[in-house]
Structure 1
Amino acid sequence: MSELSHDPEVLIQHYLEDRLTEDEAALLLELLQKPALGEADPLHEKLLHQLSMDAMLREVKAAASTSTGPVILPAAPSAKTKARFSFTTLTSVAAVAACITLALTWLFVFTRQLPSMADAEDTTAAVAVLSRGVNLEWQGESHTPGSPLSPGWLRLESGLAQIEFYQGARVTLEGPAAFRLVSSSQAYCTAGKLSVHVPPQAKGFRIDTPKGTIVDLGTDFGLDLNVPTAELHVFKGEVELHATGAAMKPLYEGQGMTLGDENQAFTANQAAFASLNTVDERTAESQRLAFESWLSSRPEWNNEASLQMRLDFQDPVGTRSLRNHAVKAPQVPAGSIVGCDWTEGRWPGKRALEFRNVSDRVRLSIPGEHEAITLCAWVRVHGLDRPFNSLFMAEGYADGAIHWQITRDGKLRLGIAGRDGHPSRDHDTPALFKPERFGQWMHLATVIDPVAKEIRHYLNGEEVARVPWLHVFPVRPGLADLGNWNDGGRSDRVAIRNFSGTMDEFMLFSRVLTEQEIAKLAR
């Protein structure tokens, strides 16, 4: 009689080979019912894997043994086969096998559903991206550099907008302009001045106008619809002009043509249109002025009486703390940096911290309780990898603690922990942070207003949600993390809620900021 084996791998092998003894069967059943705690690869998963492999090997063997007809699995063991264990043990193992078979069936059905699950992945209608912009003033919906653009109208009152179509064409639009995106290779323009670069990959890019259509054959050209006659200038390569009521005319480098009732030729003038260098120069100048304006506004905010904390992230690179610039709150200490790396902020010369790993955070302490609070931050979201992505979260979650975060489905959330018998409650916006917004600098603000009994959320200076605050009581920032969370030692394992992105300014006020003040901070 063979010696009883206690090795789970051997027991599984004996079971698959139909030579499991009664004692081994009893031991295997016991191990299956009581898996080892903390084991990296539980026994039931090993058995499931081995059964799956065994089934596949049987199919391969059966297929190899016959040249035609369906695959036939080996027959069940003969009744003459000597039983090596009791009927009770056999039924127990059979029950376990039935459960595993059910699991295999579920696994098979689940994997068959994977393609349909993949079909439900996020989609986008965008056909271009606003790659850069200088002094942009929009009529109607506004767009910031980095924004994907879906088919529809862009109405630019002033400024320069550089649009890169997904097929490769680049359009530099000068306001005032009315420009409609049709597809990744087509646009329609009724007003404006624009220059177009079309690489070989985007050959055939076309722009329709009320006075005709321009089809590019791989070139650079300019189009001015703000002059009475409307002018087409070809800087390089060849384009086709399909003027309304006239035959197609090819135009080559250096040639120009009016788009009026009578097409008149002239010499193209590239200097009259914004070039790539012009956009670069104006962008750099615009960023410099914006940075200088921000620097000059710092004393005004630093001396605000209600300001409890202002981190401007302009601390020396390499330091592991962030100075609190709130002049009237000397009791609030500097923030302590854990993990985060220094990086560039909104403008050249503006510093920021990047939050990437589960350890990254800035440790804060804001003592006291407050009837009203306004939270503000400039952030750039890289992704929403977790159910809850922390912006500012008090340690633990009790007695009026506040949790400011972004949910996985893109909602800006302010959670207020219950106190004095009142329950905890979340106050959410609609979904704001979709993949199209990732990588863009955004100003976020949330107001706790005890007088109006509501929570108000703002994105880039505009209100996006107001939610009733049902139970008004003082809230408590206390010990907190910027970009992360600590549960206050309630357990030996903490939920992963770290922020994935960049932050270059954070402010906390102990009063309600007005819409005008928030809009000013968002500029």
Structure 2
Amino acid sequence: MPDTDTLIQRYLEGTLTTAEAEDLHTLLKAQPELGERLLQHFDMDAMLRATKPLVADNIIRPKLLPRRRFTFATVTSVAAMAACITLLGTWLMNAAMDPRPEAEETTASVAVLTRGVNLEWESATITPGTPLSPGWLKLKSGIAQIEFYQGARVLIEGPAELQLVSSGEATCTRGKLSAQVPPQAKGFRINTPKGTIVDLGTEFGLDVSAANEEVHVFKGEVELHQPTATMKSLKEGQAMAIAGDTAMLTANASSFASLNEIDARSAMSQRFQFEKWLASSSKLNADSGLRLRFDFQDDEGSRSLRNHAVNGGQIEDGSIVGASWTTGRWPGKRALEFRNVSDRVRLNIPGETKTLTMAVWVRVNGLDRTFNSLFMSEGWGDRKIHWQITRDGKVRLGIAGSAGAQHADHDTPVFFTPERFGRWTHLAVVFDPATQEVRHYANGELLTRSKLKHTQALKIGIAELGNWNDGRKTGGVAIRHLSGAMDEFTLWDRALSDAEIATLAN
């Protein structure tokens, strides 16, 4: 077959055979960039034909180009085809170089529980820091601060029932609430059984009881909309019953919880929790089955964690590498922050462990790696353990087989979703040969139990909190460090019960 340039030239000269035309067509489909070259030849040919031939005494007039055996329609069709092939090739190349982005994760949450004091729930238990999706909140007692994504801040006092509708709307059917609505959240709505309050950028209180409903405006202005009455405007210092007697009342801020009050009560509650934890530490340290307890209350300049277990003499203090000190669950409680590939706490659990319980208070900031370390034996093999969180949010206890036997992974369902990032969480895991199972817990509740394949004793050895060393002397090491913080870690050589783990979490 003639080369490409020859085929193009023969086409332009009108000497291309049918077989050669088929060859050119095949080349154009296989090599889209040839379409651009063919178009360039068309342009050149058209320019030459439009130019008058030069005439001189010593120049012989060239013959006119022979007539093509293809019509003008054929020429334009081939040119159009070449252009289309060129565009298609360009599109395919761009698509390969610029792939469509992956689908983004979404959240249904519209608000967040930012603080709480002495919270007791009738509905599912919610802790501060929890993003909230549309639905009912039923508070038996205590004060909860909710911040809506549009900017409104609401304090509810138990007993109360509040239904979240959207990032700018809620329905209160029982209890007291007070709201701060900045200008960017103007239009925030609270529905009640007898009417709707539309805020115009203000502070107000709402009291919904079985007998009546009252709205009190502390600052700014609200609109009161009722099904069978005209809209009423209430300004600063005014109050009104939503149904029944519509006479204006004087707003009474002292009967509603304020931000100053929740600040003071929250600080008092945190001090109480911290002191309660300190008081229980001595009893926990003396537990006969406890082999290791880091309470993270070491001096801020310290580069080691003291083992406080009374019966943990074989286990030395942990060595801090890289990790920096930060604030833990409460003011005054210390924690270690893990950020970089260097950050870890090195320790050694010598000998064999027939039964094992581990518990940790951890704040996970993100799952940036395939595996995110909690507590992992150095290397892998011969009954070593890896306690970690997978990228998709499952908590895993991996147990290596002995004498080359296959390892076993004991996973929870997906637990760490983005809504749980940045919150203190209590995790525990139990390796229990007596029941031949592994049990995982989160915040004191059983997540899952799975059957043990092998019940031989574990050999933890050298291990790390918040990171992993695969034991190689040279070469790269897999990056598995935790992105987050820890403020307590405990290890027993016995299986704790459900009730004991719930006590630890509470």
TM-score strictly above 0.5:
yes
Q: How does 1:59-98 map to 2 (within 5 A)?
A: none
Work out the CA distance in 1 between the residues paired with 2:274 and 2:162.
Answer: 30
**Aligned to 1:435, which of 390, 393, 418?**
418
Q: 409, 412, 422: which one pairs with 1:426?
A: 409
- Counterpart amino acid of 1:474? A
Alignment of 1:504-515 (within 5 A): 504-515=487-498
Seen in structure 2, the aligned counterparts of structure 1 residues 332 and 106 have a Cα distance that, compared at 3 Å, is farther
Deviation string 1:105-129 (CA, Å, 9 cap, x unpaired) is 98633445324x2xx1111011111
Q: 1:114 aligns with which of 100, 105, 110?
A: 100
Match of 1:284 among 246, 267, 286: 267
Q: Which residue does 1:500 correspond to in 2?
A: 483
User: Quick check: 1:297 aligned with 2:276?
Assistant: no
CA shift, 1:266, in A, is 1.3
Query: 1:142 Cα shift?
Result: 1.6
**Distance of aligned partners of 1:508 and 1:237 in 2 relative to their CA distance in 1, 3 Å threshold:** same
SS of the residue 1:313 aligns to: coil
Cα shift at 1:246: 1.9
SS state at 1:248 partner: strand
Question: Could you say which residue in structure 1 is the equivalent of 2:211?
Answer: 228
1:207 aligns with 2:190: yes
Instruction: After TM superposition, list the pairs within 5 Å mapping 1:181-200 onto structure 2.
Output: 181-200=164-183
Q: Which amino acid aligns with 2:440?
A: H
Mapping of 1:354-503 within 5 angstroms?
A: 354-420=337-403, 422-489=405-472, 492-503=475-486
Task: Give the counterpart letter for 1:272 in structure 2.
Answer: S
Q: Which residue of 1 aligns with 2:13?
A: none
CA pair 135-110 structure 1, distance change in 2 beyond 3 A: farther
In structure 2, C-alpha distance between the alignment counterparts of 1:267 and 1:375, rounded to whole Å: 57
- Residues 461-490 of structure 1, C-alpha deviations (whole Å, 9 max, x = no match): 011111111221111221100000111226
1:420 Cα offset (Å): 4.4
Q: Separation in 1 of the partners of 2:121 and 2:227?
A: 30
For the residue of structure 1 that corresponds to 2:413, the secondary structure is strand
Q: Does the alignment pair 1:162 with 2:148?
A: no
SS at match of 1:382: strand
Provide the rounded CA distance (Å) in 2 between the counterparts of 1:211 and 1:463.
Answer: 42
User: Please, which of 221, 225, 233 is the counterpart of residue 242 of structure 1?
Assistant: 225
SS in 1 for 2:274: helix
Contact residue 422 and residue 471 of structure 1 kept, 8 A: no
Q: Structure 1 residue 231: deviation in Å?
A: 1.1
Tell me the CA shift for residue 244 of structure 1. 3.8
Q: Distance in 2 between matches of 1:306 and 1:211?
A: 59
Distance of 1:344 and 1:359 partners within structure 2: 20
Distance 1:413 1:192 in 2: 42
Aligned residues: 425
C-alpha RMSD of matched pairs (Å): 2.0
Partner of 1:142: 125
State TM-score, norm by structure 1. Answer: 0.78
* Aligned mates of 2:92, 2:476 — CA distance in 1: 31
User: Which position in structure 2 is the counterpart of 1:47?
Assistant: none
The C-alpha deviation readout for 1:207-230, integer Å capped at 9, x for no partner, is 111111101111100001136211
Structure-2 residue corresponding to 1:69: none
Q: Distance in 1 between matches of 2:97 and 2:156?
A: 49
Structure 1 pair 468–279 and aligned structure 2 pair: CA distance change class (3 A): same
Partner of 1:126: 109
Give the Cα separation in 2 of the matches to 1:490 and 1:405. 23
2:382–2:404: 8 Å Cα contact kept in structure 1? no
CA distance in 1, matches of 2:354, 2:337: 32
**2:297 — aligned with what?**
314
Normalised to the residue count of structure 2, the TM-score between the two structures is 0.81
- Equivalents in 1 of 2:251, 2:479: separation in Å? 60
Does 1:325 pair with 2:308?
yes
Name the aligned partner's letter for residue 495 of structure 1: A
Q: What amino acid is the match of 1:342?
A: W
Measure, in 2, the Cα distance between the counterparts of 1:456 and 1:191: 40
The 2-side partners of 1:413 and 1:105 are apart by: 44
Unaligned runs of 5+ in 2: 1-32, 45-88
Match of 2:159 among 147, 162, 176: 176
- In 2, the alpha carbon distance for the partners of 1:167 and 1:107 equals 43
Give, as a single letter, the amino acid of the residue that structure 2 aligns with 1:423: Q
Identity of paired residues, percent?
60
Question: Secondary structure of the residue that 2:416 maps to in structure 1?
Answer: coil
**Cα distance, 1:398–1:104 mapped onto 2, change above 3 Å:** farther
What letter is aligned with 2:188?
Answer: F
Query: How far apart are residue 511 of structure 1 and its match?
Result: 0.6
Q: 1:278 to 1:107 in 2, by over 3 A?
A: farther
2:257 matches 1:274: yes
What are the within-5 Å matches in structure 2 for residues 32-71 of structure 1?
A: none
SS in 1 for 2:412: strand
CA positional deviation for 1:265:
2.5
Distance 1:468 1:480 in 2: 25
Q: Give the structure with higher Rg (CA).
A: 2
CA drift of 1:243 comes to 2.6
Inter-partner Cα distance in structure 2 for 1:248 and 1:210: 16
Q: CA deviation at 1:421?
A: 5.4
Deviations 1:308-331 (A, max 9, x none): 100000000111100000111111
Output the CA distance in 2 between the equivalents of 1:394 and 1:105: 51
Q: What CA deviation, in whole Å up to 9, does each residue of 1:60-94 have, x standing for no partner?
A: xx8xx99xxxxxxxxxxxxxxxxxxxxxxxxxxxx
